[in-house]
Copies of this chain bind each other. A is one copy, B any other.
Amino acid sequence: MKTRAYAASEAGGKLEPFDYETGQLKHDEVEIDIEYCGICYSDLSMLGNDWGITKYPFVPGHEIIGKISEVGNEVKHLKIGQYVGLGWRARSCLICDQCLNGYHNRCVKGEDVIVHRHGGFADKVRCQSVWAFPIPDNMDVKTAGPLFCGGITVFNPIIQNNVRPTDRVAVVGIGGLGHIALQFLHAWGCEVTAFSTNPDKEKEARELGADQFLNTLDTNALRSSANKFDMVLVTINQDLDWDTYINTLKPGGKLHIVGAAPPMKANVFALVSGEKSIGGSPIGGPGVIKMMLDFCSRHRIAPVIEQFPLSKVNDAMNHLKEGKARYRIVLTNDFK
């Protein structure tokens, strides 16, 4: 069986049509006929080999929606024709301590959709069945893809940090991840503040759920927000003046990073005296992903997307790279 895809043959290269053989489906796998695939900033990072782990030819794409086309003979809970979503992770060992405790996302023997295997800028993709999640009936399949990487990445910190509806939370960066975080936290009942360098985003940020908007280029505004937030969720992957952000936390507050930012410098005294912490997390476990899907279904939460046909994938990647995406790009499979 052949899979038709778009691949780059070198770091930063253009994505070109590329076919590859898939062989036989494993007993615990499913195959998905891809209809939609979101673009995540990590697709760009992997394309450029920014993390030194990319193998070429490289097929990006890990925010996948499609119908099950084949199931391995051990797979009983999914049916051919059923809509599922697949995100960053494609496999986990299921027997390490992390998997056994529900943290399959932290499994070090796991496999990721676009790391040393081919991703979702294609007509088909495969994964271990536990990582293919049925889409709730009332959810729009066109917009659901970005939930499986961008969405879970900002939902998981809410669960892991035990955020409560009484909390005040700031979201740093209103882009592909941040615009979903605003919706989650608003539905969660929190007071939500959007932190952005772009004042043009204020109106939309408020529509998405922000109660407050703070322009982070306004250093005075940032400094005067001392002792305000229970959690500051950092969705950007740049270096920050971390101490200024830590200063905006209440005593006991948590700075939570989900972007691949460069090494940080931070004042230890502020952490100790204010009982504050700095943490991070990658996507979320399968139990938390199901919880997120149910929450989105009940609260009508959906990524705000722009659509490109898969055949225009290079234009779409440039659009993201230039910071123009509002707020997540989804590719539509136009093979045939």
Contact = CB atoms under 8 A, between A and B. Distances in A.
A209 interface: no
A102 to B, nearest CB: 11
Nearest to A237: B268
A263 B106 CA distance: 28
Interface stretch (A21-29, A217-225, A269-277): A269-277
Contacts of A251: 98, 103, 106, 108
Contacts of A265: 263-265
A323 interface: no
Interface in A225-278: 227, 250-252, 254, 257-269, 271-278
Interface stretch (A10-18, A187-195, A279-287, A295-303): A279-287
A138 interface: no
Contact of A266 (B106, B260, B264, B273): B264
Each complex incorporates copies of this chain amounting to 2
Contacts of A278: 266, 271, 277-279
A106 B267 contact: no
A257 B279 contact: no
A45 to B, nearest CB: 11
A261 B268 contact: yes
A264 B97 CA distance: 30
Contacts of A258: 272
Contact of A275 (B264, B271, B276, B281): B281
A271 B257 contact: yes
Contact of A274 (B106, B260, B261, B271): B106
